[in-house]
Structure 1
Amino acid sequence: MHAYYFDNLPTDQRLPHITDPARPVSPETLAKLGVLSWVVPVPPDAASPSNSQGISEEEDCEVNRVAKEREYKNRDVINVSREGMVAVFGIFGVGVGFFDVRETPTDAWIRIAVAPGDLLVLPAGIHHRFTLDTKNQIRALRLFKDEPKWIPHARSGATDTNVHRVGYLRDVGAGIVPAVGVSA
């Protein structure tokens, strides 16, 4: 995983969008926003699924450890391509993509490049978006506190008063790493 400030240039979103000069973002800065990450070793032949989730037993043990520790009860595997998006969000096997999260209080976009083996937690209430890279495909494992579901919410006055957003802003403002759940 590699995080940095997004350059905001109006070019193809699938490009890296690294500022010049580059402005990296540390794991500590991400943690203050409630964004947590782990690296789960992915074997070189991970493109061929080894179980129903497409991950090896070793990977599954680490994912299970994180899921138990953070109380995620459900999961699903999605294939995302340019044609459609079927996010914790773990990249296993194939693909690279970018999660962009809004830094609070600056409102700057932070881009997080994710690749096979990256396991990322986005707290409920954080403004975020996902973009594929130019290869246009990724297979990902998502973890959920409850039933697997993902409902997109366009940023608006209504989203700013959403219970998860309000709780997130309260927790970040108090210096608490949000643990409400995953915005996936």
Structure 2
Amino acid sequence: MVEAWYMDESEEDQRAPHRLQPNCAVSLEQLRSLGVVYRKLDADNYETDPCLQEIRRAENYSWMDIITIHKDKLPNYEEKIKTFYEEHLHLDDEIRYILDGSGYFDVRDKDDKWIRISMEKGDMITLPAGIYHRFTLDENQEKWRRQQQELSAQP
């Protein structure tokens, strides 16, 4: 299940959770009141998933792209990560579906406070047109990379 919370004001590592102390959780109902819709889907079968097909049909979503956010797969990786984390908005709804891995989508609430939404494989959110948002990988991505580096460095 997706988890969301209000963020602290820290400017440190964007991949950290940045939870307020004490934590101030945000419910799915609160996200819906901002127009953010959450769904859990079958990421292993996204190409044939009838739930995804129905969402695409009902919402008239006809276009999609798949992006792999990994140093070895994404050209200009460091620059792209910075760009994704820049606050922006779109004139159309934005749909984000995590097929593998994990990360954070941050959205601004009606009082201009940041809400962090932790997403992982199978999570889909729809962000309404006009909502300020940004994306970053989380610490899990870095931990995975470090593990891989440590494993490959062993004799």
TM-score (normalizing by structure 1)? 0.61
Is 1:33 aligned to 2:34, yes or no? yes
Which residue of 125, 133, 157 corresponds with 2:130? 125
What displacement does 1:30 show? 0.7
Q: Deviations over 1:42-90 (max 9, x none)?
A: 4xxx4xxx6xxxx363xx2211111112121111111123613695100
- Alignment-mate amino acid for residue 41 of structure 1: D
Provide the aligned length of Structure 1 versus Structure 2: 123
Structure whose residues are more often strand by fraction = 1
The 8 Å contact of residues 91 and 116 in structure 1, kept in 2 or not, is answered as yes
Structure whose residues are more often helix by fraction = 2
**What does residue 95 of structure 1 align with?**
101
Is 1:79 aligned to 2:84, yes or no? no
- Alignment-mate amino acid for residue 10 of structure 1: E
Q: What is the aligned-residue identity percentage?
A: 37
Backbone CA RMSD of aligned residues? 2.1
Distance 1:16 1:66 in 2: 30
The 8 Å contact of residues 99 and 114 in structure 1, kept in 2 or not, is answered as yes
The 8 Å contact of residues 81 and 132 in structure 1, kept in 2 or not, is answered as no
Moved more, 28-37 or 127-136: 127-136
The runs of 5 or more residues in structure 2 that have no matched partner are: 72-76, 85-93, 143-155
Alignment of 1:41-120 (within 5 A): 41-42=42-43, 46=44, 55=46, 57=48, 60-81=49-70, 83=77, 84=80, 87-92=94-99, 94-104=100-110, 106-120=111-125
Q: Deviations over 1:71-127 (max 9, x none)?
A: 2111111112361369510001x21110000001x1000000110010100011100
Q: Aligned to 1:88, what secondary structure does the other structure show?
A: strand
